[in-house]
Amino acid sequence: MQRHYGLDWLRIGAFAILILYHVGMVFVPWDFHVKLPGAWWVAVPMMASNPWRLSLLFVVSGYASRALYLRNRVPWRFARQRSLRLLVPLFFGIVVIVPVQPWVELSSKYGYTEGFWHFLTHDYFRFGAFGPIVLPAWNHLWFVAYLWIYTLLLALGAAVLPAAARRALQRAFVAVMRGPALLLVPIAWMVLVNFVLFPGGRETHALIDDWVAHASYLPAFLFGFGLACAPVTLAAFVTRWRESSAIAVAAYALVAGIEIRWPGNTMPAPWGTIFSVARAVEGWAAVAALIGFADRFCNRDHRWRPMLTEAVFPFYLIHQSVIVLVGYWLRPAGLPIWLDAVVLVATTVAGCWAFYLIGRTIAPLRPLIGLRRHRSRRTGVDPRPAVA
């Protein structure tokens, strides 16, 4: 299978949206590690990506995992390669990158008075509850942990199932995922998860009890794995990207309208149910539209693509800690919301670029920030598929 540049661009764009989304979390009424004076309406544009951004990342990660699996061939070798690539930056992130986030949260919300160094050396590595927070924490790095778990499950399935069974599953995927079923089956599954299997459930990102997230993201990851060897399914996405876009926009308009009418999760029955169903429809229709659009219009290389593809994982590792720390520093300034937002976006982008550009030039740091140990001599960045 050839590299799909369109999905590379989707991955880059999805992580860029993620940075803006987490900046928005500082201002909305939803819980976050640090808060600045904001407004309820900030939630409305955030809901344009809220239902689909993570599902899209798991689909793209599953797609790229198929390429890596085909390269390694042997399941245990694939699992080992992915474990090294994911667990090293995960542990580095938990130990070095994340600690500033619970320190800021405890200091700004719960009256913690000690400095960061005291917190890091005396309180962070307690492996238990510290007030309302369990420490140490992985916070936004839950995505990396879940991706590793899903990768191990995939490798285990590949090791246990005979080749004939694996081929039969791939043929079944291709047979089902075409035509209207390409939209209807995933949307029906998402509605089933939220209203039948886990009614009223919420994602916890704590791994053990996070059944809503696993029921949503593991199928998305496996879908991407199957899609990588299903050109018929990919062609169906291209054929239907316009109608998928129309459905996603209509569903978002309903979500936004309900949020504007009843802000802050105060909608009465039956509008709460309508809101949740519309989010499920928007979630998969947007993923379908973006994949089809990317294949149709963006499946081509560009001289910036290798560097941006490589930079995505380091950006992801560091971005939330930068946002939380800068937000904490901005609290006493009393700036208007628009200026707070500009400062947060600018400093986060600058901090992410500095983290990546410095880390990629120092060989021992490269694996810690999610990069392969050696750079390509020709381009200065690794040209192989990256999954994070």
Q: What is the mean pLDDT of residues 52-56?
A: 96
- Does residue 108 lie within any of the structural domains? no
Asked whether the predicted pLDDT for residue 189 surpasses 80, the reply is yes
Residue 32: exposure state from Cβ atoms within 10 A (0-12, 13-18, ≥19): buried
- Does residue 289 lie within any of the structural domains? yes
Tens of pLDDT, residues 248-257 = 999 999 999 9
pLDDT for the residue 266 = 78
Tens of pLDDT, residues 101-138 = 999 999 999 999 999 999 999 999 999 999 899 999 99
The number of residues making up the chain comes to 388
- Does residue 91 lie within any of the structural domains? yes
The Cα 294–Cα 238 span in angstroms is: 8
- Does residue 133 lie within any of the structural domains? no
Total domain count, the chain: 1
pLDDT for the residue 376 = 57
Asked whether the predicted pLDDT for residue 352 surpasses 60, the reply is yes
Tens of pLDDT, residues 269-328 = 899 899 999 999 999 999 999 999 999 999 999 999 999 999 999 999 999 999 999 999
Q: What is the mean pLDDT of residues 71-82?
A: 92
Asked whether the predicted pLDDT for residue 154 surpasses 60, the reply is yes
Measuring CA to CA, how many Å separate 379 from each of 96, 134, 289, 307, 369? Answer: 29, 43, 32, 9, 19
Asked whether the predicted pLDDT for residue 383 surpasses 50, the reply is no
Q: Report the phi/psi class of residue 372: left, alpha or beta, with left for phi > 0 and alpha for psi in -120 to 50.
A: beta
283: containing domain? 5-98+138-369
Average pLDDT, the chain: 93
Asked whether the predicted pLDDT for residue 268 surpasses 90, the reply is no
Ranges assigned E (strand) in the chain:
128-130, 133-135
The Cα 356–Cα 322 span in angstroms is: 13
Question: How would residue 3 be classed by pLDDT, with cut points 50, 70 and 90?
Answer: confident
Q: What is the mean pLDDT of residues 70-84?
A: 92
Question: How would residue 1 be classed by pLDDT, with cut points 50, 70 and 90?
Answer: low
Q: What is the mean pLDDT of residues 190-210?
A: 91
Please give the single-letter amino acid code of residue 228: A
